Amino acid sequence: MLLHVDRTCKPPNATWDEKDKRARCSLRRALLRSLRAMNALPRQPRDREPSSAISSATAPAMLVLGGSGVIGSAVCRHFARHGWNVIVHYHTNRAAADAVLRVIEEHGRRGEVFQADVGDPASVHAMFDLMQHAWPGLDACVWAVGRAVNRVTVRLTPSEWDGMMRANLTGLFLCLQRAGEIFSKQRGGAVTVVGSLTGELGRAGHAAYAACKAGAVGFVKSAAREFGNVNVRVNAVFPGWHPSPLAGAAFPGPDDLDDHVLGRTPSLDDVADVIYRLTTARDISGQIYNVDNRLW
Ligand SMILES: NC(=O)c1ccc[n+]([C@@H]2O[C@H](COP(=O)([O-])OP(=O)(O)OC[C@H]3O[C@@H](n4cnc5c(N)ncnc54)[C@H](OP(=O)(O)O)[C@@H]3O)[C@@H](O)[C@H]2O)c1
C-alpha cells in the first residue's frame, strides 16, 4: 500500500482544525470566566435561590421527571420546602403526582403535573411543548425515572430488555435533549440524574438495569462536556437503596447490609438534600456522587 506523505511545511488540515478548536474552546472558557466574575450569567439556579421574601411568581422553577415516584416525590417536596416552584412529571400514577402537587402548594409554591412515557419520543415532545408554553422559564431538572425487572439474563426476554432501555436510557436522552435546549438558550441551568451504584458494581438479576445505569453515567459526563460552554451543569447521584415499586423485592433486609459501613440504608432526606445542593451549586459539573455508605 502506498502512503501519501505531505512534505510541505504546512501541517495536515486536521492539526490546524484541532488547534483552531482548542483556541476557540479556551477563548469561550475565558469569556465564561469573565462573565461569571461579572455575575452576568443569567438563570444559574443559585443566583435565583429563593428567599422567604420571594413570591411564587418569581421563584425559580424545576422539573422533576419521575416526580410521582418515591425518590422523585421526595425531591419535589424538598425543593418546594426551599421555596421552588415544582413541575411534577408522572407516567401512570396521576394520584401520586397530584398528592405531591398538593404538598408543593401547602408550602406556598406553584406547580403543575405533566404526563409522558419517556421512552416514546412523541410523548416526550408533547409534554415539553405543553410545559414550555405554561412555564416559559425553567432553572433546573432532576431525572428520577426508573424501571427495573429483577430477572437473571438467561430468563430476561427481549421485550423486558427493550422496556428497560427505553425508559432508563432512551428516555434520559430524549428528556435531557429538550431540557438542555431550554437551558442552553438561557445560558444557565442544572440537571441532576438519579443513577445507581448497580451500574458500577453490577448485580445478579439486574444486568439490563445495570447496563442502563452505567450508560447513564457516560451520558452525564458527555453531556456535562457538551453543555459546559453554555453554563449548563450536569451531574449524577447514586441514591442508595429505598423501598419503592422499582426496588421491589430486591430491597435488602436487615441481615443483608454488610456492605453498608453504617449498617443502614440512606434516608430520602439526605438524597434530596444532596440533589438540592448540587442543583444550587455554581461550579460543579460532570460529577458522580454516591449518596450512600457503601464503599465503591
Ligand atoms: N429505590 C432504589 O432503591 C433505587 C436505588 C438506586 C437507584 N434508584 C433510581 O432512583 C430513581 C427513582 O426510583 P424510585 O425508587 O423512586 O422508583 P419508583 O418509586 O418506582 O419511581 C419510578 C418513577 O419512574 C416513572 N417511570 C417509570 N417508567 C416510566 C416511563 N416509561 N415513562 C415515564 N416515567 C416512567 C414512574 O412513573 P409512574 O409511577 O407515574 O408510572 C415513577 O415516577 C430511578 O432512576 C432508579 O433507577 C432507585
**CB of 123 sitting under 6 A from ligand 1:** no
CA 281, CA 261: separation in Å to the nearest integer? 28
Span 59-72, pLDDT tens digits: 999 999 999 999 99
User: How far, in Å, from the CA of 166 to the mean position of ligand 1?
Assistant: 13
Contacts of 224 (CB under 8 A, 6+ apart): 233, 234, 235, 285, 286, 287
Atom nearest to 167 CA in ligand 1: 31
pLDDT band at 281; cut points 50, 70, 90: very high
Atom nearest to 68 CA in ligand 1: 43
Packing angle, helices 158-165 and 207-228, rounded to 10: 30
**CB of 68 sitting under 6 A from ligand 1:** yes
DSSP of 112-181, one letter per residue?
Answer: EEEE--TT-HHHHHHHHHHHHHH-----EEEE---------GGG--HHHHHHHHIIIIIHHHHHHHHHHH
**CB of 246 sitting under 6 A from ligand 1:** yes
Which residues sit opposite 42 in a β-bridge? none
Within the chain, residue ranges assigned H as helices are 13-37, 70-81, 94-106, 121-134, 158-165, 171-186, 198-201, 207-228, 268-280
User: How far, in Å, from the CA of 280 to the mean position of ligand 1?
Assistant: 23
Contact present, 166 and 215 (Cβ < 8 Å) = no
Span 172-196, pLDDT tens digits: 999 999 999 999 999 999 999 999 9
**CB of 90 sitting under 6 A from ligand 1:** yes
The phi and psi torsions of 111 (rounded to 5 degrees) equal: -170, 180
Residue 124: what pLDDT? 98
User: How far, in Å, from the CA of 146 to the mean position of ligand 1?
Assistant: 3
Packing angle, helices 171-186 and 121-134, rounded to 10: 30
Span 135-185, pLDDT tens digits: 999 999 999 999 999 999 999 999 999 999 999 999 999 999 999 999 999
User: How far, in Å, from the CA of 244 to the mean position of ligand 1?
Assistant: 8
Q: Give the residue, 39 or 17, on which the prediction is more confident.
A: 17
Q: Which residue in the list 90, 209, 276, 289 is annotated as catalytic?
A: 209
pLDDT band at 213; cut points 50, 70, 90: very high
Please give the domain boundaries of the chain with CATH numbers for all domains.
Answer: 43-290 (3.40.50.720)
User: How far, in Å, from the CA of 51 to the mean position of ligand 1?
Assistant: 31
Q: Whose CA is nearest to atom 19 of ligand 1?
A: 69
Q: Is 289 a catalytic residue?
A: no
Using DSSP, state whether 80 is helix, strand or coil.
helix
Task: List the 232-238 sheet strands across, edge first.
Answer: 111-115, 85-90, 61-65, 140-143, 189-194, 232-238, 288-290
Q: What is the pTM of this model?
A: 0.87
Residue 258: what pLDDT? 95
pLDDT band at 12; cut points 50, 70, 90: very low
Q: Whose CA is nearest to atom 45 of ligand 1?
A: 146
Contact present, 72 and 66 (Cβ < 8 Å) = yes
Atom nearest to 193 CA in ligand 1: 45
**CB of 72 sitting under 6 A from ligand 1:** yes
The phi and psi torsions of 32 (rounded to 5 degrees) equal: -60, -40
Please choose, from the candidates 135, 141, 95, 133, the residue with its C-alpha nearest in 3D space to the C-alpha of residue 115. Answer: 95
Packing angle, helices 207-228 and 171-186, rounded to 10: 20
The x, y and z cell numbers of residue 147, run together, are 424501571
Burial class (CB in 10 A: 0-12, 13-18, 19+), 210: buried
Residue 55: what pLDDT? 77
Atom nearest to 213 CA in ligand 1: 47
Contact present, 292 and 197 (Cβ < 8 Å) = yes
pLDDT band at 47; cut points 50, 70, 90: low
